[in-house]
Chain A
Amino acid sequence: DAGVIQSPRHEVTEMGQEVTLRCKPISGHNSLFWYRQTMMRGLELLIYFNNNVPIDDSGMPEDRFSAKMPNASFSTLKIQPSEPRDSAVYFCASSVTGPSYEQYFGPGTRLTVT
């Protein structure tokens, strides 16, 4: 079975550019999570969706970040404009709602903003 798929795996961009990260959850999973991981702050939950609806976006750092889930098999995380402090690894994870809530992570996108 295919796991969570993320693209691109690596992204290098210049400050001020728009960045779009993509995620395809595991088929049948109805919850999707976006995380950011840095050495300084560890793994932070940015936003999560349940049945394609954003439930909690309190972790989104600022208005430059936005996320969408237009259907059950696709989600995007967009940063516009990007800044060097956005450099991090961004993970997408998916799960099935109840009873275990176990999340499975994608391989991540390593973003570097110069």
Chain B
Amino acid sequence: QKEVEQNSGPLSVPEGAIASLNCTYSDRGSQSFFWYRQYSGKSPELIMSIYSNGDKEDGRFTAQLNKASQYVSLLIRDSQPSDSATYLCAVSIYGQNFVFGPGTRLSVLP
């Protein structure tokens, strides 16, 4: 059974701080990793995708992947209240067998 695990939160950080979101997965054959942001009552929105070990940066967001540890994380620098949302980690094998984690609720306090 493929599983993706995340801390449900809520994770509370002050405005301007770094928010760190973590995700572990069970299937070693997983090839593609994604972070989605979902505001309450809205659909998931793709933030980052990562496929190789290491870091990938896009603006205030950095995704980190460690396939040996089966671990992927998302760092949000200079957190803003508008970043308050649920963050979903998703894992797939070549675009198939997409599995989403339960999500981590992030609250950025002004």
- Where the two chains meet, the residues of A that have a C-beta atom closer than 8 Å to any C-beta of B are 31, 33, 35, 42-45, 48, 55-56, 91, 95, 97-98, 100-108
Contact = CB atoms under 8 A, between A and B. Distances in A.
B95 A108 contact: no
A38 to B, nearest CB: 11
Interface of B: 32, 34, 36, 42-46, 49, 51, 88, 90, 92, 94-103
A98 B99 contact: no
Contacts of B101: 42
Contacts, number: 50
Given A43-B44, A106-B43, A33 B102 contact: no
B97 A56 contact: yes
A35 B100 CA distance: 10
Classify the interface of chain A: helix, strand, loop or mixed.
strand
Contacts of B90: 103
Describe B's contact surface by its main secondary structure. Answer: strand
B44 A102 contact: no
Nearest to A104: B46
The 3 closest A-B pairs by CB, nearest first: A101-B95, A105-B43, A43-B100
A108 B41 CA distance: 9
A86 B44 CA distance: 20
B98 A33 contact: yes
Which of B32, B43, B45, B94 has the most A CB atoms < 10 Å from its CB?
B43
Contacts of A91: 43-44
A43 B38 CA distance: 11
B103 A42 contact: yes
Contacts of A55: 96
Contacts of B36: 105
